[in-house]
Amino acid sequence: MTDATRWDFLGSYRATGIDTPHLDELASSGVRFERAYTTQPVCAPARSALFTGTWPHTNGTWSNNMAPGLDMPTLGQRLHDRSVKTAYIGKWHLDGTDYFGNGRCPDGWDPEYWYDMRSYLEELSPEERQASRDPATVEGPGVSEEFTYAHRCTERALEFLEDYAGEDFLLVLSYDEPHDPGITPPQYAEKYRDFAFPHDDNVRDDLADKPRHQRVWSGPRLAEDRDAGFERRDPRYFAAQEFVDAQIGRVLAAVEHHAPGALVVYTSDHGDMLGSHRLYAKGPAMYDEIARVPLLLRKPGAVCGGVAPHPVSHIDIAPTILDHMRMDVPDLLPGKSLLPVLREPAHRVNDEVFVEFGRYEVDHDGFGGFQPMRGVFDGRFKLVVNLLSDDELYDLADDPGELRNLIDDPWCSARRNRLHDRLLAWMNETRDPFRGAYWERRPWRADAREETWSYDGLTRQRPDDPGYQPRLLDYTTGLEMTETVRRK
């Protein structure tokens, strides 16, 4: 996986001028998921869902620098406990410390191969550390490939593949690139020095009918004249995408040599706004620029060059891997295996997918602070409830740039309300700790129920996770529960 790769950075999704030949080859030899979504468009929450198989609001990582709860085993733990070799190489961002991690290998992963960003920094001199974080490093004489984090992660992955060829394993290779500072050898940055990423009409969105927190986020960009001359230039970002693609190419070649029967999964944690809707980076929004992610899967014997058109989610990755390893998927994991889609790309596994947001960062006061959001997408309509701001509804079939907010449009009120009902049900089903009547009683929902203290009046205990938690007990009897959902 990479960090902050937009879905349309890959040539197999959209020809923009960024070269990604190795990922495009992976797409042509496997299945490309056209509508894949992160669970939350911020690093740590997105990763928490990928590696625990649970929603950020379930595992406790609903902001950067918050770690999953101790009762949430990772994929590494689940497979290691079944004698599968597991290695995690690269950015982790799930130990609750800082951007770089604490350098300590978590339970379930092989300490010999563990290599987070702190591990990398501790190999460098103080001067080299600063150079590795300074965007200006790519100017002047630049850096060697061997200096970069991506190269060093790749080297460890190649060692692992050689050491465990012929065995069952889970290898996670988590690059920081193309996330800033985008340190690459100089030839990559030079190639994109005069490159402008193509933009859509939504760079001129005036945000007039959009949530007020987006207008605050936009800041001075809201007053910019973008009718002529606006360009999206970020040489380091675009160069880092091609550079990390080259590193991935080295790994894919080694997979072909050492593990030709492997299931290969590629994705990114989230995208980047790049000026769309006059916003930057990522944060409290569910626009496709940041919530939609690239997702490629390849399994020998499955479809080659297939395109899966229906919505899928990062929450589906953990069940897919467990299914591939012929392991039971516990009730605790809400996602669905995507292996049937590798046999028939038109197969639909989800009626809807969901995206959430809590907070961008615990350490920083900025980035909008607490912005509780829940969204649902059914393949055409996307509903976003911004609890402390204004809500959104988009018809992506007619408005792929998400320019027209239809939340109050009577034409689609029935579809909107059905999506809203499904969103509320999902919050209940997943035991969302932030659920309550305030999500239902929105200004546009005339038929919302009266607010009551008991809300739905149900007890919803944690689903079973055999081998990791005993069956929970009923509060009123002290006996094992017979149903996870029941009247209180």
Q: Tokens representing 403?
A: 């320019």
* DSSP class of 89: E
One-letter amino acid for residue 26 of the chain:
L
* d(C-alpha 183, C-alpha 100), whole Å: 16
Q: Tokens representing 402?
A: 């998400």
Catalytic, 43? Answer yes
Quickly count helices (H) and strands (E) in the chain.
15, 13
Catalytic, 80? Answer no
* d(C-alpha 279, C-alpha 270), whole Å: 15
* d(C-alpha 469, C-alpha 488), whole Å: 22
Do 45 and 358 contact (CB within 8 A), yes or no? yes
Do 30 and 46 contact (CB within 8 A), yes or no? no
The helix/strand/coil state of 111 is: coil
Please state, as a whole number, how many other Cβ atoms lie within 10 Å of the Cβ of residue 438. 14
Q: Which of 57, 80, 93, 314 is flagged as catalytic?
A: 93
Do 442 and 65 contact (CB within 8 A), yes or no? no
Query: Taking Cα atoms as reference points, which of 267, 351, 289, 365 lies closest to residue 46?
Result: 267
* d(C-alpha 282, C-alpha 312), whole Å: 20
* DSSP class of 131: H
Hey, which residues does 266 pair with through a beta bridge? 296
In sign, the C-alpha dihedral spanning 459, 462, 466, 469 is negative
Q: Which residues contact 81 (CB under 8 A, 6 or more apart)?
A: 108, 467
Q: Which of 43, 105, 153, 314 is flagged as catalytic?
A: 43
Establish how many alpha carbons lie within 13 A of residue 301's alpha carbon, considering only the half-sphere containing its beta carbon.
7
* d(C-alpha 293, C-alpha 328), whole Å: 27
Catalytic residue numbers?
Answer: 43, 93
